[in-house]
Amino acid sequence: MEFNTIDEAWMFWISYGGQKGFEVRKMYTNKRKSDGKVRSCRYVCANEGHRKKDKRDHLTKCPGAETRTDCQVRMGLIMDREKETYKLPQTSHLMVSQRKISELQGFEIETADDAGIGPKAAHELACVQVGGSSNLSYTLRDHKNYLRAKRQREMAYGQAGSMLMYFQDKIAENPSFQYALQMDIEEQIANIFWVDAKMLTDYAYFGDVVSFDTTFGTNKESRPFGVFVGFNQFRETVVFGAVLLYDETFESFKWLFETFLKAHNGKQPKTIYTDQDFAMGKAVKEVFLQAWHGLCTFHIMQNAVKHLAEPKDEDEGSKKDPKHVDDEGSEEEPSILSDFSACMYEYEDEATFEHAFQLMRTKASKQTWLDSIYKVREKWAECYMQDVFTLGMRSTQLSESLNSELKRHFKSDFDIIRFLKHFERVVADKRKKELDAEFESRRKQPRIKMKTPTLLQASKLYTPIIFEAFQGEYERSLVACTTTLEGNNEYLVAIGSLDENFTCFEKEYKVTGDPLKQTSTCSCGQFNRFEILCGHALKVLDLMNIKSLPAQYVLKRWTREARCGIVQDNEGRNIIENTKLDDMLRYKDMTRRFLNLALRAASNPGCTLLVNNTLGVLSKQVEEEINGCTDNVEPVTVPINVAPPSDLVSTARLKKKEVQTKTSKRQKTWLDKKRKFTKKGSKKKGQGSMSFEQALLQIHFHHRL
């Protein structure tokens, strides 16, 4: 509001008081000393404030009736120096009585918080949307108070009770959501496992190779957090389940693995990778009876650095001045570490491995660790994994990569509800990458270097990244040389180099073919490990005049149709991954249409009034329709095991855990520190690090010379 003179403002206040039924008075008036004009003033109700106390009150025999009742009705004015007019101050929106958060604004605040947007950034965004902070009906402090109150409501039943309510809300959204609790002898919650509908379907399609690892420092309770992960047809990470453990004992791991299998209808993985934890390994051996258990090669190599390096070498390595690194930017690793790496990755036959390992033992000053790791050599050495179904996985890299990403979103002081919601958001980000890969695979066709029937067929079957690997093997088959053995369709096949000289050949492998059954079996074992035919087998198929890829050599999990089929949960229900998909699509469509309507109508007062009036009528009709539908809905009988008893929610307690001294970060060895300085300055501009897929194509799908 704006007035030309101060008298006009006063007359308005008198008229307003008469209309609303209260008397008025002037609280104060400030004038400029230069010309005596009013600079600011405040008009209030006559009943504003309280009667002042006087030391002579006790002498008054008949005190007058109390007229000051602290009425808050007021109007403040300030002078606009440019126009010489009087208007309401721009800070009126900061008064407590004028600040409020509507239901829609509260929804936007909660949505921003769930998306990981901080309060300050979310508040600034809200200010921009309404054209400035003066047009927003709440302050940043109100924003933070709203979130604090929301979290207090969420934690009304305490950590354990609120967690149970969160899980029950998830079950209400999708009945296929599952969770399990392990109680201790005092009926306190020790271990917590949960899995949603998407995790169930992902495991049904891609649960053949699983990686499991635990990490610390992600929650307020200082509990180890573990995730079961694998990869899909695009080699993107998929999550199969999650757990918060009380401790890392055999009993906890056994309960976890049994619960994991029960949630997934008893389906056992073919291969599972973990670290070298003894209790975990014992539980894997007892529960995953049909799975091959592999040890993470990354952890083994780190232990090799700790146990095989000489103490004086480690001291010298830690004190080495990085400025004195040689011209090539790196130093030679100790030969014993190189020998151990060769035993892990390079030797394909057991005899060569045994000879190299025993030779390495003679170089080691301390052989205790070597003897212990030798006892489990079947779980990490290349020569013992020729026929193991690994799909290229040799470590818990997927789990550690996900754990690293989780720590960027989590804080150690998160309560259980914030932890669960942020984990849900990180998993959603991973699933978004799969959708992006799916979209790109449909929008772009892979580049086929040769228009052969086999490659044309494979390009339509395989996902792009798997087709690239297959096409690489097909190219290698073109430079393969064969020798026919005395027998039925038996060959020795050696892959030649792809350079112009064509003078170097890889190791020969024996391939047995059967033109009637359209089979080609190679002794290199690549198909057993990766379910993708090697160049040797493709060469023999071509020699047998088989120009298309036989169906038995196409693994469904690598194809574009990997997700085709129906998956049921352990209750026999068909799993629907997103029960709110239809609601979300309708919401998205209405939001777009309402936003376009608001943008069109906002510039015209008449159109704005029309829209507001129509929305008022429409809102009443919607409420009547919703209430009518609710009255006609028949009551639904909820199974007794869906919701926990109310007394369990109110009395549930998480087992208290002492803060672990174990750090969430891996301590770097002296070798890591030396490599750190190697990377600096030696990396050329524009040269990026090798991706996991590139490493797979260059290492796992090619045989070493």
DSSP 590-635: HHHHHHHHHHHHTT-HHHHHHHHHHHHHHHHHHHHHHHHHHHHPPP
Residue 145 predicted with pLDDT over 80:
yes
- What is the 8-class DSSP label of residue 68? -
| Of 77, 64, 57, residue with least CA distance to 1 | 77
Q: Which of 144-153, 322-331, 348-357, 400-409 has the lowest mean pLDDT?
A: 322-331
Burial code of 309-342, b = ≥16 C-beta within 10 A, e = fewer? beeeeeeebeeeeeeebeeeeebeebebbebbeb
The band of 294, judged by pLDDT with boundaries at 50, 70 and 90, is: very high
For the ranges 137-146, 410-419, 603-612, the maximum mean pLDDT occurs at: 603-612
Residue 81 predicted with pLDDT over 70:
yes
Q: What angle do CA 67, 73, 76 make, to 5 degrees?
A: 120
What's the CA gap between 261 and 287, in Å, rounded? 9
Across residues 505-518, what is the average pLDDT?
Answer: 91
Across residues 458-483, what is the average pLDDT?
Answer: 94
Backbone angles phi, psi at 453, to 5 degrees: -55, -40
pLDDT, residue 649, reads 64
CB contact set of 672 (below 8 Å; sequence gap of 6+): none
pLDDT in tens, 27-40: 889 988 888 888 88
Residues across the chain: 705
pLDDT, residue 641, reads 38
Residue 353 predicted with pLDDT over 90:
yes
What's the CA gap between 381 and 54, in Å, rounded? 95
Residue 499 predicted with pLDDT over 70:
no
CB contact set of 353 (below 8 Å; sequence gap of 6+): 343, 347, 377, 381, 382, 383
Percentage with pLDDT > 90 across the chain:
34
Classify 650 as helix, strand or coil.
helix
Sign of the Cα pseudo-torsion (228, 229, 232, 238, in order) = positive
Let me know how many helices (H) and strands (E) the chain has, helices first.
Answer: 24, 16
For residue 240, the surrounding DSSP H or E stretch is strand 237-244
pLDDT, residue 272, reads 96
CB contact set of 229 (below 8 Å; sequence gap of 6+): 210, 211, 212, 237, 238, 239, 240, 398, 399, 402
| Of 125, 91, 134, 299, residue with least CA distance to 211 | 299
Tell me which of 663 and 425 has the higher pLDDT: 425
The band of 209, judged by pLDDT with boundaries at 50, 70 and 90, is: very high
The band of 642, judged by pLDDT with boundaries at 50, 70 and 90, is: very low
Question: What angle, rounded to 10 degrees, do the helices at 335-345 and 350-363 form?
Answer: 160
The band of 682, judged by pLDDT with boundaries at 50, 70 and 90, is: very low
Which tokens is 676 given?
């750190």
pLDDT, residue 207, reads 95
The band of 703, judged by pLDDT with boundaries at 50, 70 and 90, is: very low
Percentage with pLDDT > 70 across the chain:
80
Residue 113 predicted with pLDDT over 90:
no
CA dihedral 431, 436, 442, 444 (to 10 degrees): -150
| Of 7, 42, 39, 43, residue with least CA distance to 23 | 43
Residue 143 predicted with pLDDT over 70:
yes
DSSP string, 499-531: SSS---B---EEEEEETTTTEEEETT-HHHHHS
The band of 93, judged by pLDDT with boundaries at 50, 70 and 90, is: low
**CA separation, residue 125 to residues 98, 106, 114, 139, 628 (Å):** 21, 14, 15, 12, 38
- Total-model pTM: 0.71
**CA separation, residue 71 to residues 15, 50, 61, 566 (Å):** 18, 9, 27, 68
| Of 412, 390, 73, 58, residue with least CA distance to 221 | 412
DSSP string, 528-572: HHHSS--HHHHHHHHHTT--S--GGG--GGGBTTTT-S--B-TTS
For residue 649, the surrounding DSSP H or E stretch is helix 646-651
What's the CA gap between 476 and 497, in Å, rounded? 8
Tell me which of 671 and 243 has the higher pLDDT: 243
pLDDT, residue 523, reads 92
The band of 160, judged by pLDDT with boundaries at 50, 70 and 90, is: confident
Across residues 343-347, what is the average pLDDT?
Answer: 91
Classify 88 as helix, strand or coil.
coil
Q: Name the amino acid, one letter, at 593.
A: R
Residue 695 predicted with pLDDT over 50:
no
pLDDT in tens, 355-378: 999 998 888 877 889 999 999 999
| Of 651, 509, 570, residue with least CA distance to 266 | 570
